[in-house]
Amino acid sequence: MKSELKAKFLNHLISKKREGGFTLIELLVVIIIIGILSAIALPSFLNQANKGKQSEAKTYVGTLNRTQQSFYLEKTRFAKGLEQMANPVPKQTPNYDYASGDDVATSATQVLTTGTSRVAALRSYGGTVFVVTDPTTTETTTLGIAYESDVPTTNPLGLATINPANNAMTPPAKSSAMN
């Protein structure tokens, strides 16, 4: 009877071993799949963080363009700098430096606004406001364009150009108009 009991006990231990957990190969396959999915998702996740930082510059450059337009409509000249516009945005943030008017480039008919990246992984932004005259009514108004660099850069963007025949505005080289 003892040998029969031993046989049943060994049989029980063998069958219990077959029921236990995952094999090493199964665990390795799961780890590899998780690694591949992480490698695909990580760059997209990091890019979202940069987009959030860049939205600050888009907003501030747009604000400065509109402020310059308002300033021109009130005083028939552009503001010389952020101080004359009552500092609608800070001159510097952790990610960007902002300038407008004589701080960058201005003339009687156009003014440049820049949001220059302080971080190599972020794009720089710019805006130009033009003074245009309607040839039929001789009314003067302003037109503005905002644009971003095509690739991340810490260099400021230059002035956009305008076609006087149709008032079509073109951003400077290596940049694209923002929607």
Domain that holds residue 172: 29-177
**Residue 150, pLDDT score:** 97
Structural contact between residues 119 and 97, judged by C-beta atoms closer than 8 angstroms = no
**Residue 44, pLDDT score:** 83
| pLDDT at 23 exceeding the cut of 80 | yes
* Pairing label, strands 168-170, 161-163: antiparallel
Structural contact between residues 133 and 109, judged by C-beta atoms closer than 8 angstroms = no
**Cα–Cα dist 167/174, whole Å:** 21
**Residue 49, pLDDT score:** 86
Share of the chain above pLDDT 90, in %: 68
Has residue 1 been placed in a domain?
Answer: no
Where is pLDDT greater, at 104 or 161? 161
Chain segment 84-140, per-residue pLDDT in tens: 999 899 999 999 999 998 877 778 899 999 999 999 999 999 999 999 998 888 899
State the average pLDDT over residues 9-24: 73
- Model confidence at 2, pLDDT cuts 50, 70, 90, reads confident
Closest residue by Cα to residue 80 from 103, 109, 97, 60: 103
**Residue 10, pLDDT score:** 79
**Residue 5, pLDDT score:** 80
- Copy the structure tokens of residue 147: 């644009």
**Residue 152, pLDDT score:** 96
| pLDDT at 159 exceeding the cut of 90 | yes
Has residue 132 been placed in a domain?
Answer: yes
Chain segment 24-82, per-residue pLDDT in tens: 899 999 999 999 999 998 888 888 889 999 999 999 999 999 999 999 999 999 999 99
* Domain tally, the chain: 1
Q: Is 115 exposed, middle or buried (0-12, 13-18, 19+ CB in 10 A)?
A: buried
**Residue 13, pLDDT score:** 73
Has residue 7 been placed in a domain?
Answer: no
Give the pTM: 0.76
- Model confidence at 17, pLDDT cuts 50, 70, 90, reads low
Has residue 5 been placed in a domain?
Answer: no
Ramachandran angles phi, psi of 7, nearest 5°: -65, -45
